[in-house]
Structure 1
Amino acid sequence: MTTDIVVDRNDPAVVIVTLNRPERRNALTLAMWTELGRIFADLSADANVRAIILTGAGGAFSAGADISEFPAVRATVEDGHTYEAAGNHCQVAIASCTKPTIAAISGPCFGGGVGIALSCDFRVADASAYFAIPAARLSNVYGIVETRALFDAVGLAVAKEILFTGRRYNAEEALRLGLATHAAPRAALQGAADLAKGMSGSAPLTIKGTKIVLEAIARNETEQRKAAIDTVMDEAMASADYREGVAAFAAKRDPRFVGK
């Protein structure tokens, strides 16, 4: 695993994934896109993990893609397709994670950094955070995965403004527009940890299943995804966790869920 991404399992239930290139404001290389997607896929399958926080080192979330490597990794149209596929795979891995995912955003969150933040379920920003997608200043067109995530968060008109102008938005503006979902009164990482703690005791099968149901509703694909929805509902109903939840409720104690 590259040291450009650090995975902190000090709390096995709440894992912190840190982009660790502070000297480059955590700009994402092609290798990091690939590695980050793999990390989230692995954490999604880990029964011990109850929530994942994604953050950046050195007071920055991410400056986005590392443009300095573009002459080497995006020299041709074909190279560009390969690069975009890696970024898309990463964002899909984050978005499809079965655990709650929280971006803790301090400092700059630009371009591809916005993309991975929007792939998370929640985005906690502190007062130092600021956001921009400067595609129009690079003559770059964002693909479906990134643009859909932006559209889902802010709506059509605001998405157009963000992409057409490339302007910066401070934390207060980001919260109002939907780029951020929570404002941290102090450091973003602490705010994200507080949010994760409130979810880490929840039933994993409920979270996994609810994410599938909500995604189907958001995409207007409830009929196409009915089989998958029925499966997660049946899985939860037949689980030991369901029996534990009922027993804990009757005994007036906190449930102890295991994800089975």
Structure 2
Amino acid sequence: MSKNLEAFSREKTYSEPVYLQVEGEIAFICFNRPDKRNALSYEIWLRIPQLIEECENDANVKVIIFKGTGSAAFSAGADISEFKTLRYTAEGAEKYNKATMIAEKSIMNASKPTIAMIQGFCVGGGCEIAVACDFRFSDEQGKFGITPAKLGLVYNTPGTKNVVDLVGPAKAKDILYTGRLLDAGEANRIGLIDRIYPAEAIKEETVRYAELICRNAQLSVRGSKKIINEVLAGAIEDSPETAELVIESFLSEDYREGVRSFLEKRKPDFKYS
């Protein structure tokens, strides 16, 4: 067992509805309302960008993993009690929607790779968060759905684009028009999730994958993420900023170390973080 997984397996007790746990080079953002299937409250949406910023400012953190507390749910969606309070008026709904979109964009725009480690239900806002991540790994009990059609709501454009980018327009329409739940097998077949693991192996396999990313040159990883995001936004050639990134990589110490290690047939020791 890796040190990251061994430390993470000794889960601590937190009272916050969402919390950050950093183990070595991996940060875990954990939804912590297991009695409510980790339902997402307004408070949680507000907290997500703050936790992302903490990860961005921590030079040791190389990968961010989102997960739910317990094995029943990543998140079963919005806290229904807020539909009759905060989200009951137009003003309140606008305030709530703004918070969700800011949180979603903070995940999408994070410079560091993000993984949603999904156990059980991943529905509504939970699926919105997962789809905003770079990768989605699920256990065999994963259940996925985006359900605004069952509530008389309209899904926002960034969230819809993320779904379309993953599964294409026809499958996105199926998911959004019907609001039905997909099991892990179907979600994987259409590209909504990337990998399926047995429940007893998902933590180990997700951490193992994160460690694979951690071992690589972070200048390359983050540069690739930035450029892929620009491609998804319509770019077909380098912007001045990405062109500079490419040139900087050739001038970096990590590039020199990569070449040396390749010629010397050893593992590289990259320094950029």
TM-aligned CA deviation for residue 222 of structure 1 = 3.6
Aligned partners of 2:271, 2:260: CA distance in 1, in Å? 14
1:67-112 Cα offsets, whole Å, 9 max, x none, are 2112221132122121111111111111111112111111000001
TM-aligned CA deviation for residue 131 of structure 1 = 0.6
Aligned to 1:46: 58
Percent of paired sites with the same residue: 37
Aligned to 1:23: 35
Does 1:213 pair with 2:237?
no
State the SS of the aligned residue for 1:199.
Answer: helix
Between the two proteins, the alignment pairs up a number of residues equal to 258
TM-aligned CA deviation for residue 26 of structure 1 = 0.6
RMSD: 1.6
TM-aligned CA deviation for residue 45 of structure 1 = 3.3
Amino acid at match of 1:237: F
Aligned partners of 1:218, 1:133: CA distance in 2, in Å? 21
Aligned partners of 1:139, 1:91: CA distance in 2, in Å? 21
State the SS of the aligned residue for 2:40.
Answer: coil
Aligned to 1:192: 206
Aligned to 1:135: 148
Aligned to 1:203: 217
Show the 5 A alignment for 1:161-172. Answer: 161-172=174-185
CA contact under 8 A between 1:105 and 1:189: conserved in structure 2? no
Deviates more, 1:181-190 or 1:21-30: 181-190
Amino acid at match of 1:37: P
Show the 5 A alignment for 1:76-95. Answer: 76-95=89-108
Does 1:64 pair with 2:81?
no
State the SS of the aligned residue for 1:61.
Answer: strand
TM-aligned CA deviation for residue 183 of structure 1 = 1.2
Aligned partners of 1:18, 1:39: CA distance in 2, in Å? 10
Structure 1 gap segments, 5+ residues each: none
Aligned partners of 2:29, 2:142: CA distance in 1, in Å? 18
Structure 2 gap segments, 5+ residues each: 1-13
Amino acid at match of 1:102: I
Aligned to 2:190: 177
CA contact under 8 A between 1:55 and 1:189: conserved in structure 2? no
Question: So what's the TM-score if we normalise by structure 2?
Answer: 0.89
Aligned partners of 1:204, 1:155: CA distance in 2, in Å? 30
TM-aligned CA deviation for residue 179 of structure 1 = 1.5
Question: Paired residue for 2:25, among 13, 20, 39?
Answer: 13
Runs of 4+ displaced beyond 3 Å = none
State the SS of the aligned residue for 2:88.
Answer: coil
Amino acid at match of 1:110: V
TM-aligned CA deviation for residue 247 of structure 1 = 1.9
Aligned partners of 1:214, 1:248: CA distance in 2, in Å? 27
